Amino acid sequence: MDKSICFPFEIRDLDHEKTAEVTKHFTGLQIKYVQVGPEKYYFCEGYKRLGPKIYNMKIRSTDVFLVTVPKSGTTWTQELIWLLKNDFDYNSAKAVPITQRFPLLEQSMTHNSEIARSHLNVDNGTEKQTQMTKILSMCGFEVLQKASSPRYIKTHLPLSLLPQELLGTAKVVYVARDPRDVAVSYYNHVRLMLTFGFQGDFKKFWHFFLNSLVSWTPYFSHVKEAWVMRNHPNVLFMFYEELCKDLPSSIRRVASFLDKPVTEEQVARLCDHLSFDNFKKNQAVNYENLRELGLLREGYSFMRKGKAGGWRDYFDEELSAQAQRWIDDNLRGTDLRFPDA
């Protein structure tokens, strides 16, 4: 790391025992991992080179950040924000992938060109290989550095690891979701994406999630950082469950936060566009291009059910009790509560 860059958090390599356990079950990337800061945020080792750069990134007053723990309704909210801010340009929204309109800031942290090439089942130098390598190794940070304003920035990094001037300069939408639903969706995601190569059932994945051994966890540290800042004028804290229960009201709330007046007709059309059936068919947001490139497991899809409370289909009595104790322990002393599904 460049010693001239300000970065107040220690980055420690994951110990050998935990690394061995993780790589035994996540057979895809076969990379090393680190834990960052006092909360021990868990990332692949690419964070060493990218994290300090992000922390010192220059923020523009027109930036809009969407911050979430993975699998918290991120893509859904990205589309909502982008359309509000771009005067409901549905033609562009359907034509241009969400990954280009609303890049992931830390995209290249997990993948680089060497890792991308290792997942190609095609001959070297083919157009397909070139396309996949470009997709997997794209550096969101570098893309955003060169992007014109306004920038729409997706990140799963916690607030403490984001640029120091962020909250005083730009708008931040944070979406939280019941951690049990997050775990279920995350499990299906690592089963879907062949780059993870996850070998195990849901109980095994829950073990990793609970012990903060999946990227961007610990979950509660991440959410509680944002919850503490929920009354900041530049922060809008939302629950995925609220979006599911009353999407029109949620759209109005986001529109007000972003200073974008909306009509009832505009809200109704956006609700229709964001409905699960339409969203699942939308090639610009459902990542089906990755299937064509051989990155998705057959029988799985990026868009699954689009509802809250589905965790009950995965948690037996023992896991449910364990999860409730974990939630109660982490919410003790706070007023953070998750809405009923």
- Residue 108: give the domain boundaries: 58-331
Q: How many domains does the chain have?
A: 1
The answer to whether residue 287 scores a pLDDT higher than 50 is: yes
pTM of the model: 0.89
**pLDDT tens-digit series, residues 58-72:** 999 999 999 999 999
Q: Which residues contact 298 (CB under 8 A, 6 or more apart)?
A: none
Catalytic residue among 156, 222, 232, 273: 156
Residue 156 is a catalytic residue: yes
Confidence band of 113 (pLDDT split at 50, 70, 90) = very low
Question: Which residue in this structure is represented by tokens 């090393």?
Answer: 32
In a domain, 222, yes or no: yes
| Strand 171-176 versus strand 64-68 pairing type | parallel
Instruction: Give the SS3 label for residue 11.
Output: strand
In a domain, 7, yes or no: no
In a domain, 40, yes or no: no
CATH number at residue 305: 3.40.50.300
- From the list 187, 301, 296, 311, the residue with the least C-alpha distance to 240 is 311
In a domain, 36, yes or no: no
- From the list 170, 166, 186, the residue with the least C-alpha distance to 178 is 186
In a domain, 14, yes or no: no
Note the pLDDT of residue 297: 55
Which amino acid does the sequence have at 159? L
Lowest-pLDDT choice from 20-34, 75-89, 120-134 = 120-134
The CA distance from 183 to 312, in Å, is 12
In a domain, 303, yes or no: yes
The CA distance from 7 to 1, in Å, is 9
Note the pLDDT of residue 194: 65
Residue 63 near residue 145, CB atoms below 8 Å: no
Task: For residue 262, give both structure tokens.
Answer: 């909306």
103: phi then psi, degrees, rounded to nearest 5: -65, 155
Confidence band of 296 (pLDDT split at 50, 70, 90) = low
Helix (H) and strand (E) counts for the chain?
A: 18, 7
> Taking the C-alpha atoms of 29, 198, 135 and 120 in order, what is their torsion angle to the nearest 10 degrees?
70
pLDDT average, residue stretch 31-53: 94
In a domain, 31, yes or no: no
Residue 91 near residue 140, CB atoms below 8 Å: no
Note the pLDDT of residue 309: 86
- From the list 45, 254, 63, the residue with the least C-alpha distance to 151 is 63
Strand partners, 174: 67, 237
**What's the half-sphere exposure (Cβ side, CA atoms, 13 Å) at 235?**
18
Residue 171 near residue 61, CB atoms below 8 Å: no
The mean pLDDT of the chain is 87
The answer to whether residue 290 scores a pLDDT higher than 60 is: no
Q: What's the full length of the chain, in residues?
A: 341
Q: Which 3-state string (H, E, C) describes 281-305?
A: HCCCCCCCHHHHCCCECCCCCCCCC
Residue 240 near residue 66, CB atoms below 8 Å: no
Note the pLDDT of residue 127: 63
First to last CA, the chain: 44
In a domain, 255, yes or no: yes
- From the list 175, 177, 173, the residue with the least C-alpha distance to 341 is 177
Residue 105 near residue 141, CB atoms below 8 Å: yes
